[in-house]
Amino acid sequence: AKADGRGSFRHFEPGMDAQMLERQRLELDLRMAVEKGEFSVHYQPLVNLEDQKVSGFEALLRWSHPVRGNIPPADFIPLAEETGLIDAIGRFVLEQACRDAVTWPDHMKVAVNLSPAQFRTTEVLATVVRALDLSGLRPARLDLEITESLLMDRSDGALQTLKALRELGVGISMDDFGTGYSSLSYLRSFPFTKIKIDKSFVKDLHASADSQAIVRAIVGLGRSMGMKVIAEGIENADDLDFLMQEGCAEGQGYLFSKPRPVSEMAELLESSPAQ
Ligand code: C2E
Ligand code: CA
Ligand code: CA
Ligand code: CA
């Protein structure tokens, strides 16, 4: 047993030591990963449901660890957020995504995920400006995806930063819409240009009357508030059919394509001739 700061005793299970050690190791590896070039960005097509053409790509971070292989973002982003490493990682993703996007046809956008932790300072604004400047990408071709937890945690600073980003001309999407607590009031006070229906409502949509009602309501909400609506996690044709009938503007999911590395970009672009 070890004394903690308050003079009481906390017992450490043998397994817990191992867990902490593991975490420290991962943190050390994470610190080195950017410099060692272990991160890459994969791209998943966003499809215009009206004409079935690719309208852009979502950038999704991948970590290829030299020993452990591919580590999914869900397993290291939380650690990156806690340790502040997310700033450097986020900078990498933004710069890479903008650099890649300038090589695509001009009507295609790139969507980049931002973590709420990146809004702890105003640095994220400078990071976005820099990524646009370095690449020469038109701001209108960049969409930033944020989740509701950002708005809950630090509404004031975040609102100012989002407004400033919006003034630059970049789009702001509310990711995972419907999974938070009070999405509706946030839609009114924050400058969103797009709503992304969470994949939990899209999965088996054709077989769930509840999900259908929710999706219908979100599409109607987007339409009346002037926001584009995109559905993520489309895996089968029946779900796609429902979304198209309801007039959902865009879709994304394994039915169209999994996220793929830049080396396969030519193929992804070929399947979608520029208009
Ligand atoms: P997200 O932003 O909601 O991204 C969508 C996730 O759904 C991605 O998982 C994508 O691969 C997956 N997906 C796409 N289509 C389908 C489908 O048809 N079915 C299913 N079941 N899943 C599908 P991924 O790449 O593992 O990323 C997980 C999460 O990690 C992301 O969720 C996002 O929150 C976070 N993330 C990924 N890249 C970044 C990044 O560069 N920065 C930050 N801050 N977070 C990131
Ligand atoms: Ca996203
Ligand atoms: Ca999402
Ligand atoms: Ca998510």
Contact indicator for 115, 82 with CB cutoff of 8 Å? no
| 104-131 residue pLDDT tens | 999 999 999 999 999 888 789 999 999 9
Counting ligand 1 atoms within 8 A of each CB, the residue from 60, 144, 232 with the most, and so the one to mutate, is: 60
Q: From residue 271, give the alpha-carbon distance in Å to each of 105, 109, 144, 267.
A: 13, 16, 25, 6
Distance (Å) from CA 58 to ligand 4 centroid: 13
The chain-wide mean pLDDT, for the chain, equals 90
**3-class SS of residue 22:** helix
254 lines ligand 1 (CB under 6 A): yes
Q: What is the pLDDT of residue 6?
A: 52
| 130-169 residue pLDDT tens | 999 999 999 999 999 998 887 776 567 888 999 999 999 9
**ipTM entry:** 0.98
Per-residue pLDDT band at 266 (split at 50, 70, 90) = confident
Which ligand has the shortest distance to the CA of 111?
Answer: 2
The pTM (predicted TM-score) of the whole model is 0.92
Q: What is the pLDDT of residue 1?
A: 43
Nearest-atom index, ligand 1, CA of 86: 44
Whether the per-residue pLDDT at 43 is higher than 60: the answer is yes
235 lines ligand 1 (CB under 6 A): yes
DSSP assignment letter at 4 = -
* Residue 71, phi-psi category: left (phi > 0), alpha (psi -120 to 50), beta (remainder): beta
The protein residues having their C-beta less than 5 angstroms from ligand 3 (an ion) are 175-176
**Beta-carbon contacts of residue 270 (< 8 Å; ≥ 6 apart):** none
Q: What is the pLDDT of residue 62?
A: 98
Nearest-atom index, ligand 1, CA of 114: 44
| 8-27 residue pLDDT tens | 555 556 667 888 888 899 99
| 225-259 residue pLDDT tens | 999 999 999 999 999 999 999 999 999 999 999 99
